[in-house]
Amino acid sequence: MTDSTTPLEPSPAPTPEVATPEVAASPPPSFVKLAMRNMVRKGRQSLLHFGLTAVGFSTVLFLLAWFGRPSLPQ
Residue 44 CA: distances (Å) to CA of 17, 32, 40? 45, 19, 9
Domain ranges of the chain: 31-67
- Determine the Cα–Cα distance for residues 39 and 33; give it in Å rounded to an integer: 10
Q: Greater confidence, 29 or 4?
A: 29
Query: Per residue in 53-65, pLDDT tens?
Result: 999 999 999 999 9
| The model's pTM | 0.48
Measure the CA–CA gap between 22 and 9, rounded to whole angstroms: 38
> Closest Cα to residue 49, out of 34, 60, 38, 63?
38
Identify whether the C-beta of residue 8 lies closer than 8 Å to the C-beta of residue 2.
yes
Q: State the DSSP code for 18.
A: P
